[in-house]
Amino acid sequence: MINNRRKKIKEKLLGTFGKFKDASFDFEQIEKYFKNKDNSNTFQVLPDRTCKDLDFQELFMYIDRTNSKVGQQYLYNKLRTIPLGPHEINEHEQIIDDLLKNDNFRADIQSQLIKLNKDEAFYITSLFQDKHLKPPGWFFVVRLLSLAGLFSLIMLFFNLQMLFVLLAVFIINIGIHYWNKRNLSQYLGSIPQLLRLNNIVRELFKNDSLKKINPGLTESISVIDKVRNRMSFFRLEANLQGDMAALFWGALELVKILFLLEPLLLFGVLKRLDTKRKEIEDIFVFAGEIDSLISIASLRKGLYKYCIPVVNTEPKTIAAEDMYHPLINDCVANSIHIDKKSILLTGSNMSGKTSFIKTIGINVITGLTLNTCFAGHFAMPKMRVFSAIRISDDLMNDKSYYFEEVLTIKEMIDKSVDGKPNLFLLDEIFKGTNTVERISAGKAVLSSLARLDNIVFVSTHDIELADLLKKEYELYHFSEKVDNKGIDFDYKLKNGKLKNRNAIRILEINGYPENIIKEAIEISKELDKITVTNTQYKKKR
């Protein structure tokens, strides 16, 4: 029976490898490890705004192929933090290669990790990240009452009148026992799952290739083993809340009340665990790393094209071949080569500008965190990623769209001069203000951001901005074909600035009155004359 069940689990694991995870995502729990972890020693923690702009949650759901809640929490943190160093990339790539080539090796590991797929496993992080409960100042009374219960029970065999003492102690202990139930409930999920995690890690650590992830893990495993006996009580307690016989449960409950076993064991275990936070995190990270590598292997298996990025030391350079956005079905791939200049994109709405900017950001992030890019080739230096794409009014704090954008871009300006290379992603800069000031301020800001070792990708509808920045920025555009049948977008990146204007033509094919179309064309011609005159005047000066 057990063998049949294992066989079915293995068949399912083999069949789902390389496919999307069919599960719900509780991001409040998934983010818990990341939010409570000290990531100050990393190259960058991705800002919340950048994650929002790049649809980070949707990206995570696409990438996540983990088998456990531990792996899910660890993978989320991994994707949100760009590391300082290479972090054993070669060793990890060897493990990923083994996972891709050896189905049985992979399935055996997965069959262990899925034991940590219950929601209770989310709470393991609380054992090394959260403050533990401390016993109250009067806790010495608990020890005295426990001894009184034992003493009165023994003396009952010699003096039946001790029954009254035993009953008095028992009644007092009932109150303390049920007072502690609330404390106990906070750990009925995490501590049994920690025991399970330790058992699983012990088995995984026997594999020589996995052992390379943390060769010194034996000490952490043995430390957890030393408090195993006391913690096993929590596993029993958790199981007994299921379908155990009522009679057995009742008898055990009476014993626990009389000797106050629950509060004594709970606070004793918590005191020990409080000194073992590093060891608990060590085994958490070991299992999480393995599960995240399986997720990366599964992701690569399901992609029609991917590459391992080349992370070089050449500043202000990006070489991307056949790059695509993983969340867009049948996405049109594009290539771009950047050498010492930033990129300004022009084009109409829905032509592909914003998606292309997001594609660059996503590939840089997954390349630097997961060593995987959605492209045929991708080379870049290590960069921090900042964005101003999806900005909206903050009505709760009485901030207009323009003011919110001003604050966001001011943060970018501050980051641009702090000595680290950056990738800045902007969509329609300063679109919350008038044309003259938008172009003037936009030019000044974009010139400033593009200095030093920073790369800027910015989209705009303002052709004038392209003219002002052509010495500092490479100009590219997206375009569409408009005819009587409608609009056709090819989503292909093209050199130079956009020359064709189709906005009025689109109004025409959508049935706008002829007098409106005629007036719009006449006004656009007059504005073009003014623009040409101003440009010629500036050149003479």
Q: What angle do helix axes 69-80 and 277-302 make, rounded to 10 degrees? A: 80
Element spanning 455, H or E: strand 455-460
DSSP alpha helix (H) spans, 114-156: 126-129, 140-155
Residue 492 DSSP code = -
Residue 121 DSSP code = G
Residue in the structure block whose two tokens are 């330790």: 198
Q: Which residues pair with 337 in a beta bridge?
A: 319
Residue 91 sits at φ, ψ, to 5 deg, of: -65, -40
The tally of CA atoms less than 13 A away on the side-chain side of residue 235 is: 11
Secondary structure, 3-state, 10-65: HHHHHHHCCCCCCCCCCHHHHCHHHHHCCCCCCCEECCHHHHHHCCHHHHHHHHCC
Beta strand pairing status for 377-381 and 473-477? unpaired
Query: What is the pLDDT at residue 85?
Result: 77
Q: Is the dihedral of CA 446, 447, 453, 457 positive or negative?
A: positive
Query: What is the pLDDT at residue 537?
Result: 41
Burial level of 299, CB count in 10 A (0-12/13-18/19+)?
A: buried
Structure tokens that stand for 193 in this block: 């799952």
DSSP alpha helix (H) spans, 328-395: 353-370
What distance in Å separates the CA atoms of residue 197 and residue 116, rounded to the nearest whole number?
7
The tally of CA atoms less than 13 A away on the side-chain side of residue 431 is: 15
Instruction: Specify the long-range contacts of residues 331-336, CB closer than 8 Å, at least 24 apart.
Output: 331/355, 331/359, 332/490, 332/491, 332/492, 333/305, 333/375, 333/376, 334/359, 334/491, 334/492, 334/493, 335/493, 336/360, 336/476, 336/493
Q: What is the largest CA-CA distance in the chain?
A: 116
Contact partners, residue 112, CB within 8 Å, separation at least 6: 200, 203, 204
Cβ contact 177:263 at 8 Å: yes
Cβ contact 173:257 at 8 Å: yes
Query: What is the pLDDT at residue 244?
Result: 46
First to last CA, the chain: 89
Contact partners, residue 119, CB within 8 Å, separation at least 6: 26, 29, 69, 189
Residue in the structure block whose two tokens are 């050149």: 539
Cβ contact 409:402 at 8 Å: no
What architecture (CATH level 2) is domain 306-510?
3-Layer(aba) Sandwich (3.40)
DSSP alpha helix (H) spans, 205-260: 208-211, 217-226, 228-240, 246-259
What distance in Å separates the CA atoms of residue 53 and residue 251, rounded to the nearest whole number?
58
- Render each residue's pLDDT in the chain as its tens digit; 541 residues: 556 777 888 888 888 898 888 889 999 999 999 999 999 999 999 999 999 999 999 999 999 999 999 999 999 999 999 998 765 678 899 999 999 999 999 999 999 999 999 999 999 999 999 999 898 888 888 889 889 888 888 888 888 888 888 888 889 988 888 888 888 888 888 988 999 999 999 999 999 999 999 999 999 999 888 877 766 666 555 555 554 456 666 777 788 888 888 888 888 888 888 999 999 999 999 999 999 999 999 999 999 999 999 999 899 999 999 999 999 999 999 999 999 999 999 887 777 899 999 999 999 999 999 999 999 999 999 999 999 987 654 544 545 667 888 888 999 999 999 989 999 999 988 876 777 888 888 899 999 999 999 999 999 888 888 888 988 999 999 887 766 666 777 899 998 877 666 666 666 666 677 777 777 767 766 656 655 445 444 444 4
Cβ contact 387:54 at 8 Å: yes
Structure tokens that stand for 264 in this block: 């004594």
What distance in Å separates the CA atoms of residue 99 and residue 92, rounded to the nearest whole number?
11
Q: Which residues pair with 431 in a beta bridge?
A: none
Cβ contact 204:210 at 8 Å: yes
Cβ contact 435:442 at 8 Å: no
Q: Is the dihedral of CA 133, 137, 143, 148 positive or negative?
A: negative
Query: What is the pLDDT at residue 177?
Result: 86
Cα R_g (the chain), whole angstroms: 31
Return the SS3 of 90.
Answer: helix
